């Protein structure tokens, strides 16, 4: 049996000269969004091709991923990421549009976002910190 009383007493961690990834950079953002999209697509493909739904199994993983996104990014950014991953395509596979409303005039504009790179650029333009 493993003795938990001594766990970590002799543990020494040394950080190597590896650079820390900044979640605010475009490359890291794009990689994160692409990875989540690929995971979602893989789940959908399994269900479509084999009738195998892993939703009950995967839900906790997706919840963890979404929670980590909220630690990395502000609420608006996470909402847009989740829209991009889960809501931008309609049931018939057509791309949906993001509708932006001008608060002063009430005018609505449709914005088409097709890639994680375009999503990043849109967020940078509209949600400056």
pLDDT digits (tens, 9 = 90+) for 51-80: 988 888 899 999 999 999 999 999 999 999
On whether residue 9 sits in a domain, the answer given is no
Which tens digits make up the pLDDT trace of 93-122? Answer: 677 788 888 888 999 988 899 999 999 999
Is residue 49 in a domain? yes
- Within a domain: residue 2? no
Residue 6 belongs to a domain: no
| pLDDT at residue 127 in the model | 77
Answer whether residue 10 shows pLDDT above 80: no
Q: How far apart are CA 71 and CA 87, in angstroms?
A: 21
Rounded Cα distance between 83 and 90, Å, is 11
Please give the pLDDT value at position 102.
84
Q: How many domains does one find in the chain?
A: 1
Q: Is the separation of the CB atoms in 76 and 125 below 8 Å?
A: no
- On whether the CB atoms of residues 21 and 28 are closer than 8 A, the answer is yes
The confidence score (pLDDT) of residue 21 equals 59
| Residue 7 belongs to some domain of the structure | no
Structural domain including 46 reads 22-126
Evaluate whether residue 10 is within a structural domain: no
Instruction: Read off the DSSP letter of residue 83.
Output: I
């Amino acid at each position: 049996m493993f003795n938990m009383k001594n766990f970590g007493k002799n543990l020494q961690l040394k950080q190597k000269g590896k650079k820390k990834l900044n979640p605010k950079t475009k490359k890291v953002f794009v990689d994160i969004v692409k990875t989540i999209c690929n995971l979602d697509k893989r789940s959908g493909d399994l269900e479509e091709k084999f009738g195998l739904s892993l939703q009950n199994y995967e839900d906790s993983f997706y919840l963890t991923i979404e929670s980590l996104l909220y630690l990395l990014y502000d609420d608006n950014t996470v909402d847009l990421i989740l829209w991009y991953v889960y809501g931008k395509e309609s049931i018939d596979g057509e791309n949906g549009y993001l509708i932006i409303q001008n608060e002063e005039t009430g005018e609505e504009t449709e914005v088409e976002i097709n890639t994680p790179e375009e999503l990043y650029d849109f967020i940078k333009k509209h949600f400056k910190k």
